[in-house]
Amino acid sequence: MILLVTNTHDITCDFIVRELQRRDRAFARLNLDEFPRFASGVITAGRGNPEQAEIRWSNRRKVLRLGEVASVLYRRPVPPVIDDAVRDEALRKFCTDESYDFLRGLLFTLECHWISNPEAIRKSEHKVYQMRVASKVGLTMPRTLVTNDPSEVLDFFEACSGNMVVKCIYMGFIDKQGAPETIFTSIVSREDLSDIDSVRLAPSIFQEYIYKQFDLRVTVVGERVFSAKIEAALPPNKPDWRACSIENLHHTPYLLPTSIERACIELVHLLGLDFGALDFVVDRNGNFYFLEINPNGQWAWLETILGLPISSALVDRLEGFGR
């Protein structure tokens, strides 16, 4: 049995579902935002009590026996959603926390293969940690400073000859009254330094700006690598291709140099992952610069646009441990 752990809005997981259905493979999709409204959990243990661990759905005829799970795709977990009838905020928080801890405890009991292990994903999300491991495998990064010290930023700006960008360490968005506002990588101008004291409020990542030919998204699944060249129709003062609409992005399959491909696979493995979405820029001299890795990054748009068989590779990987 293959288990998909995600949420009801995860369109990328739909690609995996279709591939599993095409292969007629047994699987269950556990959307954490359906628990506990449309699902219940049962665990039994203790003296004289047979061990049992199940998830049962009320909105579809399905029972998941955790002992039958051989591999898990841990995609996009979200907190459980409590019934609207519970209006007291303190009680809602209590029910959410208890439900989430129950689900995590249930999943952590699974003795199977993960894509990828939740603890490895959580650790690998930290960019400071990523940078250290990327250096170990020989990937080149732009000159980088991580700090909330204004004087260090001023010195770094001059060391970069005024060519510097700033990006977030972790979140990447500000939640404004339930409407997330994305914070893209931005160029720092000399005029921006007039507000340098605001750096004290929170650490950020500062990097030398790389004058690039194009961006690369490299998707690693086990030992398989899928690489896409991305060219964005953006002005020079906007370096982040994610700020561009999909209609203004040009994608092309890209053949990585063997040394870069092997380093990408090694980075994913050293991080304890089975999947990773890596971002690079390639400068005007053809040098590759590693930017970051998303241990649970999106990839479905690359399969749609370029036909890269990423969902097939993921199901191959899941089947390899789930027969």
For the chain, the domains span 2-111, 117-139+211-307, 143-209
Q: Averaged in consecutive runs of 10 residues, what is the pLDDT profile of the chain (323 residues)?
A: 96 97 95 95 83 88 90 95 92 95 92 94 95 96 97 97 93 69 87 94 95 96 97 81 84 97 98 98 96 96 97 95 54
Tell me whether the CATH fold assigned to 117-139+211-307 matches the one assigned to 143-209. Answer: no
Tokens of 214: 């194009």
Q: Is the pTM of this model over 0.85?
A: yes
Tokens of 47: 């003296």
Region label for 187, one of left (φ > 0), alpha (ψ between -120 and 50) or beta (otherwise): beta
* Residue 245 one-letter amino acid: S
Region label for 299, one of left (φ > 0), alpha (ψ between -120 and 50) or beta (otherwise): alpha
Nearest Cα neighbor of 293 from 219, 226, 238, 231 is: 219
Task: Give the strand pairing for 144-147 and 204-208.
Answer: antiparallel
Say which DSSP state 209 is in: P
Quickly tell me which residue has 């997981």 as its tokens: 13
Q: Look at residue 171 in the predicted model and tell me its pLDDT.
A: 67
Q: Look at residue 323 in the predicted model and tell me its pLDDT.
A: 44
* Residue 119 one-letter amino acid: E
CATH architecture of 117-139+211-307: 2-Layer Sandwich (3.30)
Q: Which CATH number fits domain 143-209: 3.30.1490, 3.40.50, 3.30.70, 1.10.10?
A: 3.30.1490
